[in-house]
Amino acid sequence: MEIEVIRKTDPEVAELIEKEFERQQTTIELIASENFTSKAVMAAAGTVLTNKYAEGKPYKRFYNGCENIDKIEELAQERAKKLFNADHANVQPHSGAQANMAVFMYAVKPGDTVMGMDLSNGGHLSHGSPVNFSGLYFNIVSYGINNNGEIDYENVRQLALENKPKLIIAGASNYSKIIDFKKFKEIADEVGALLLADIAHIAALVATGEHPSPFPYADFVTTTTHKTLRGPRGGIIMCKQEHAAGIDKAVFPGMQGGPLEHIIAAKAIALKEALSDDFKVYAKQVVLNAKALANSLIEEGLDIVGNGTDNHLMTLDLRKMNKTGKDIANVLEKVGITANKNTVPNDPQSPFVTSGVRLGSPAVTTRGFKEEDMKEVGKIIAEAVKNSDSEEKLKELRHRSLALCKKYPLYED
């Protein structure tokens, strides 16, 4: 890591960065929304591009001196369009939530009805949570999942017919099944709604054919560039050509000022990487690893919401173990596994405690983990849950997780 120049200026920050690298190096990262970028992506995020203001669009800026910036941003746009077979791409959103906010700004007015997945059932804050802009300024109708952990499309249709939303959101932050974008489009057309597909979590799977694409159906597609896509932290909005001008105006001047051009350069590199054959192999392995982990946990007697996964994540349901997500996430951290507490459907616990833990395979797949490794990870998790009060057992499990980390070191030269 390029740390020496930081150490000369600020040894305190340098020391904390080094400690964070060591934490990542020695921890099994199962947070489904995290990943490890390539060295090239990371390097781009720390270049002189951070010095340049570039409000506006390529070749239509409000500042001079953007000739190189314009070409970089144009590369990112074209690569996004090629990767996803999209008509138009805006690569300026700072995050997935801001990408969603820009779509709201363009597509609906405050007070309009919007449908999205309920946060407690696997949706995202920006899909209508009452504590988020989406829930504060719009009339939100939420749909959820059934006892099999699946979206009930007929229920979605009935809710749409009853409430006549202007915008329907298909997408989630914690949903382990395949999303049927075609059915969502049929429902949207039936009630005259626009369709937003939020693929922040499954972007790499969509790009490589491991998950069906929303692009034949959705008016707007938003994504983050981290998570499965393995780029820098940021967002992208893609849309049909008829919405391009409106979306661009919603991003700037509607939502943001100057874009982060150093991050856009990192996005461009990540998108180039995602167009490679190696990335297809990675995305396929992400799904194989997630299935192997889910199967291992089930074999060990633990419950998974929906009894498995079709993508990169799953939720461990701890209710029958009489344990909370908050407690078990902390226990897992003791044994060198990072995950996050998460609600389960009909959760008796509060969102700050929860009865579940979300687990994902993207980051460990980037490190090189395969199915046999995931089976061992599942066993470590199960033993940690069952022996959460035994410090001696947790120490033993920590040694086992560390052995896996040493097998797959980060950022080897």
325-373 pLDDT tens trace: 999 999 999 999 999 999 998 899 999 999 999 999 999 999 999 999 9
Query: Residue 197 pLDDT > 80, yes or no?
Result: yes
Residues 232, 348 within the same domain: no
126-141 pLDDT tens trace: 999 999 999 999 999 9
**What pLDDT is stored for residue 32 in this prediction?**
97
Residues 119, 224 within the same domain: yes
Residues 305, 187 within the same domain: no
The token pair at 329 is 């996430």
Helix (H, G, I), strand (E, B) or coil at 348: coil
Query: Residue 147 pLDDT > 90, yes or no?
Result: no
Write down the pTM of the prediction: 0.95
Residues 209, 329 within the same domain: no
Residues 388, 266 within the same domain: no
End-of-domain residue from the set 274, 308, 324: 274
Residue 315's pLDDT band, with cuts at 50, 70 and 90, is very high
**What pLDDT is stored for residue 1 in this prediction?**
53
Tokens 């990408």 -> residue: 99
Residues 53, 177 within the same domain: yes
CB 106 within 8 A of CB 247: yes
Active site residues: 53, 55, 198, 224, 227, 233
Residues 298, 259 within the same domain: no
C-alpha–C-alpha distance, residues 187 and 39, integer Å: 43
**Phi/psi-derived region of residue 128, left when phi > 0, alpha when psi is between -120 and 50, beta in every other case:** left
Q: Is residue 249 part of a domain?
A: yes
The token pair at 172 is 């989630």
Average pLDDT over residues 163-188: 97
**What pLDDT is stored for residue 288 in this prediction?**
98
End-of-domain residue from the set 274, 302, 319: 274
Chain-wide mean pLDDT for the chain?
96
Range of the domain at 86: 43-274
Number of domains in the chain: 2
Helix (H, G, I), strand (E, B) or coil at 12: helix
Query: Residue 96 pLDDT > 60, yes or no?
Result: yes
Residue 77's pLDDT band, with cuts at 50, 70 and 90, is very high
C-alpha–C-alpha distance, residues 162 and 154, integer Å: 12
Average pLDDT over residues 158-171: 98
Residues 227, 311 within the same domain: no
106-127 pLDDT tens trace: 999 999 999 999 988 889 999 9
- The CATH number of the domain holding residue 299 is 3.90.1150.10
Residues 60, 195 within the same domain: yes
Residues 249, 371 within the same domain: no
Q: Is residue 37 part of a domain?
A: no
Residues 244, 294 within the same domain: no
Helix (H, G, I), strand (E, B) or coil at 143: strand
- The CATH number of the domain holding residue 207 is 3.40.640.10
Q: Is residue 14 part of a domain?
A: no
End-of-domain residue from the set 274, 292, 309: 274
Query: Residue 413 pLDDT > 70, yes or no?
Result: no
Average pLDDT over residues 175-200: 98
The token pair at 190 is 């039936």
Q: Is residue 110 part of a domain?
A: yes
CA 312 distance to own-chain centroid: 10
Percent of the chain at pLDDT exceeding 90: 95
Residue 374's pLDDT band, with cuts at 50, 70 and 90, is very high
Q: Is residue 301 part of a domain?
A: yes
Q: Is residue 33 part of a domain?
A: no
**What pLDDT is stored for residue 148 in this prediction?**
85
Q: Is residue 15 part of a domain?
A: no
Residues 61, 98 within the same domain: yes
Q: Is residue 22 part of a domain?
A: no
Average pLDDT over residues 257-278: 97
Straight-line distance from the first to the last Cα atom of the chain, in angstroms, rounded to the nearest whole number: 10
